[in-house]
Amino acid sequence: MDLAYTEEEEEFRARLREWLAAVLPRLPAKPGPDDWPGRRAYDTAWQRMLYDAGYAGLHWPVDAGGRGATPTQHLIFLEETERAGAPYVGANFVGLLHAGPTIAAEGTAEQRARWLPPVLRGDEIWCQGFSEPGAGSDLAALRTRAVRDGDHYVVSGSKIWTSHAEVADWCELLVRTDPAAPKHRGISWLAMEMDAPGVTVRPLRTLAGSTEFAEMFLDEVRVPVSHRVGAENDGWRVTMVTLSFERGTAFVGEVVACRRTLAALAAEARRGGRWDDPVLRRRLGRLNAEFRALWRLTQWNVSEAQGTGGVPGTGGSVFKLRYSHARQELYEAAAEVLGADSADLDREWVLDRLSSLSYTIAAGTSQIQRNLVAERILGLPKGR
Amino acid sequence: MDFQLSDDQRALRAGVRELLAGRFGRDRMRAALDAGTGIDRALWRELGEAGFFALRLPEAEGGVGLGLPESVLLFEEVGRSLLPGPLIATHLAAGPVKGAAQGEAVVAVLDPGQSVAHLGEADALLVLGPGGAPRDAARVRDAADPVRSIDPFTPLWRIAGPVEADDPLPGGERLRDEGALLAAAEQLGSAARTTEMAVQHAGTREQFGSPIGSFQAVKHLCAGMLVRTELARCAVYAAAVTADPVEIAGAKLLADDAAVRNARDSLQVHGGMGFTWESDVHLHLKRAWLRSGQWLTAAAAEEVLAGDLC
């Protein structure tokens, strides 16, 4: 058990810090939450800066245009960028963390050459067309149909919870290509152009008041067969391979952010005289234990991935379960610190409290995660 | 950074598990419970010979020369096995208290204001607080009353008056932190064990024509137990590496929580059997309750962790 970083890793950290200190002051002002074109421009500009400095696709394999960094270097990158207050991955999320790695792992040489460089440069934005109104936790029950017509698929159906759909160029789309097959075996993975005829995007308003995601209606959209990644009807496996990768380090920056927020909450409590309340003080103390341990769990998972050649273990579900609840607890504590001001949407942490309600639902609900932990880690029998 | 067990650490853990399974397996454990015989001095000496107490003493002083992470792995196994006795205090006293390293002397711990466990059989006492001086157990025993302990393996004594300290120990101020860390390791082992017991039961016990572990209500209890255990594991192992007091406080807090709540959930999964004396779950729960009140309580740990935010 070694928590010290090697000389090489510290060198990597030092260079990154230097670069962040030089470039972050040059960033333009952050756009408002509902300014989607502004958000796209901001996020892609940041991605371009990363690309030019050699930090784009850090953990992607070299033959996919990445830097082939170790999981530990990736961890340091996420830790330092968050610590420095650098922008989040934002609109680049699906391209960098999901569609891109899927294409890198399963795409042909032509597909990789067509789609990966624009993701790394921040030229193209991807969104995710997985969930449907009738297929949420039971994703494999999806019904959007793709029917072969010559060298095209004709796609009809609807998708939901599609983040960044308004500004995306491409959509990684799961479609049913064989309605007669068992539900996991009749699915294919397609790359769909968002400006193709028949694609309609309708923004959905979240309980926080913003339009974080959208509904997407597909009416006989023509997608070239050459835009299918992986074999026909093999889309479920193609997708699951990369979904498990995403869980390893997806929340590293957020744990760092939570620890910063917790320190700010303690400072705010002292300013407001609430620090003398032992119940509140100890609640914040307990959260400190929680986020410190989540950080250690991240290091544990990354070390494990390093030992297995990058394949993440089952620690992702354990982390996601605990983290999503802890983050909601953090903003509950923030509301207590704020007191009456917790009803003021313009106060820091109030919108975060609302946004955090999605954490136990998005990317696999806590209930689904518990099934995964019970069945895949503990080996309990599958239920019906 | 490589935050995983090394091959040597894995081997140590396997060795300790094997030793305890051989010397204090379930039959021996239940026999000791029924007989109420207290500390098994012969076993204590065997542990001493195996280097259990002298693990962290330098080799030049007849010790094994290992560090806190190795001690943590050892006490995690103790927590799994339910082995009774003031093992942590004796481990911490190896060196300053004659005979502790060899398992000849049994050393209990006196934390002012708390009951003392195993005082009746102790040869010496570590006094927590400034100095942490070892005291003559017999003198303290004269001023103490036995308590009918909630844990049948852990006799308790209530101290009536204040206790004067002897000469302070060198490095005595670290005793509470190290004791809290090792207690957290025991809690971790117990939490992992009660999880295994629940999973084992849920996978075999059938109701409504299916193993109860196929029902989500049961499955989710078990998943929650694993999550608590694994988070506590990372906190405890990291605290063993850094020996940082704030990190130790966090580890104790999370490990106490994991041990107590997992034992309770395991009891629930075991249903009516879980409420019987015959089941081992209550033994884990009772010990976990006691350990939660020892070395560093939740309230004290939370204050340490809150102080770190300032």
Query: CA A29: distance to chain centroid?
Result: 23
pLDDT band (50, 70, 90) for residue A242: confident
Tell me the CA distances in angstroms from A146 to A98, A151, A278, B47, one per residue in order.
Answer: 22, 12, 60, 68
pLDDT confidence of A14, banded at 50, 70, 90?
Answer: very high
More confident residue, A114 or B166: A114
B244 in contact with A, Cβ within 8 Å: no
Nearest CA in chain A to B67: A1
Per the prediction, chain A carries an average pLDDT of 93
pLDDT at A247: 55
String of b and e for A262-278 (b: at least 16 CB within 10 Å)? beebbebbeeeebbeee
Q: Which of A265, A299, A370 sits opposite B3 (nearest CB)?
A: A299
- Which of A31-35, A263-267, A338-342, A351-355 is the least confident region? A31-35
ipTM rounded to 2 decimals: 0.96
Is A375 annotated as catalytic? no
Give the torsion through C-alpha atoms of B150, B156, B161, B164, to 10 deg. -140
Listed range (A99-103, A300-304, B107-111, B264-268) with the worst mean pLDDT:
A300-304
Residue A34 pLDDT grade (very low, low, confident, very high; cuts 50, 70, 90): confident
Q: Please tell me the distance from the alpha carbon of residue A312 to that of residue A248, in angstroms, as a whole number.
A: 6
Q: Residue A33's pLDDT band (boundaries 50, 70, 90)?
A: confident
Percent of chain B with pLDDT over 70: 99
| Shortest distance, CA B285 to any CA of chain A (angstroms) | 21
Gap between the Cα atoms of B86 and B157, Å rounded? 13
Q: What percent of chain A has pLDDT over 90?
A: 83
Neighbour-count burial for B126-142, b at 16+ CB within 10 Å, e otherwise: bbbbebbbbbebeebbe
Encode B40-61: b = buried (16+ Cβ within 10 Å), e = exposed. beebbeebbebbbbbbbbeeee
Buried-exposed string A288-298: b where 16+ CB fall within 10 A, e elsewhere: bbbbbbbbbbb
Q: What is the average per-residue pLDDT within B51-64? A: 93
How far the first Cα of chain A sits from its last, in Å, is 41
Beta carbons within 10 angstroms of residue B73's beta carbon: 27
pLDDT given for residue A313 in this prediction: 61
B200 touches chain A (CB under 8 A): no
- Mean pLDDT estimate for chain B: 94
Mean pLDDT calculated for residue range A256-266: 95
For A127, which DSSP code?
A: E
Pairwise CA distance, residues A255 & A207, whole Å: 24
- Whether B234 shows a pLDDT value over 80: the answer reads yes
Size of chain A in residues: 384
Tokens linked to A247: 């869980």
Q: What is the mean pLDDT of residues A232-260?
A: 83
SS percent in chain A: helix, strand, coil, step 5: 55, 15, 30
CA distance A371 to chain B (A): 7
Is residue B138 very low, low, confident or very high in pLDDT (cuts 50, 70, 90)?
A: confident
Residues B24 and B80: their CA atoms lie apart, in Å, by 11
> Which of A309-318, A366-375, B151-160, B227-236 has the weakest average pLDDT?
A309-318
Judged against a pLDDT cut of 60, whether residue B109 lies above it is answered with yes
Q: Which residues of A touch B4 (CB under 8 A)?
A: 1, 300, 303-304, 307
Q: Residue A246 pLDDT more than 60?
A: no
**pLDDT for residue A249 is more than 70:** no
Residue A145: pLDDT above 60? yes
Residue recorded with tokens 């009772």? B286
Mean pLDDT across B292-304? 97
* Cβ–Cβ < 8 Å for B231, B204: no
Tell me if A384 and B308 make a contact (CB, 8 A cut-off): no
Q: Which residues of B touch A282 (CB under 8 A)?
A: 299, 302-303, 306
pLDDT at A190 over 80: yes
Which of A5, A286, A370 is the closest to B1 by Cβ?
Answer: A5
Q: Name the percent of chain B lying above pLDDT 90.
A: 85
CB pairs under 8 A between A and B: 169
Residues A261-274, mean pLDDT to the nearest whole number: 96
What is the three-class DSSP state of B282?
helix
Q: Work out the average pLDDT over B35-57.
A: 93
B203 contacts on A by Cβ (under 8 Å): 379-381
How far is the C-alpha of A330 from the C-alpha of A244, rounded, in Å? 26
Q: Where are the alpha helices (DSSP H) in chain A?
A: 7-23, 36-53, 71-83, 93-94, 100-106, 109-121, 235-249, 252-271, 278-307, 315-338, 350-355, 366-372
**pLDDT tens track for A279-302:** 999 999 999 999 999 999 999 988
Residues of chain A found within 8 Å of residue B6, distances taken between Cβ atoms: 1
Name the pLDDT band for B136 (thresholds 50, 70, 90). confident
Contacts of B179 (CB under 8 A, 6+ apart): B88, B89, B92, B109, B128, B294, B295
N-terminal to C-terminal alpha carbon distance within chain B: 28
Q: State both tokens at B7.
A: 């091959």
Q: State the burial class of residue B26 (Cβ atoms within 10 Å of its Cβ: 0-12, 13-18, 19+).
A: exposed
Helix, strand or coil for residue B197?
Answer: helix
pTM (2 d.p.): 0.95
Q: Is B126 helix (H, G, I), strand (E, B) or coil?
A: strand
Q: What is the pLDDT of residue B131?
A: 65
**Annotated catalytic residue: which of A246, A332, A336, A348?**
A246
Confidence band, pLDDT 50/70/90 cuts, at residue A316? confident
Q: Round to whole Å and give the CA distance between A73 and A61.
A: 14
Contact B254 A289 (CB under 8 A): yes
The pLDDT confidence band at residue A384, using thresholds 50, 70 and 90, is low
- Distance, in angstroms, between A185 CA and closest chain B CA? 24
> Residue A283's closest chain B neighbor by CA?
B302
Among the partner residues B3, B215, B249, nearest to A300 by beta-carbon distance:
B3
- Residue B158 parent element (H or E): strand B156-159
> Do the Cβ atoms of A201 and A159 come closer than 8 Å?
no
Confidence class for position A240, pLDDT limits 50, 70, 90: confident
CA pair distance B147, A266, nearest whole angstrom: 41
Confidence bin at A245 (pLDDT 50/70/90): low
List, for residues B172-206, the tens digit of each pLDDT value: 778 999 999 999 999 999 999 999 999 999 999 99
In this structure, the number of other CB atoms found within 10 A of the CB of residue A153 comes to 24
Q: State whether B299 and A374 contact (CB < 8 Å).
A: no
Q: d(Cα B129, Cα B175) in Å, to the nearest integer?
A: 9
Closest CA to A262 of A293, A297, A302: A293
Mean pLDDT of A181-210: 96
CB contact under 8 A, A373 and B211: no
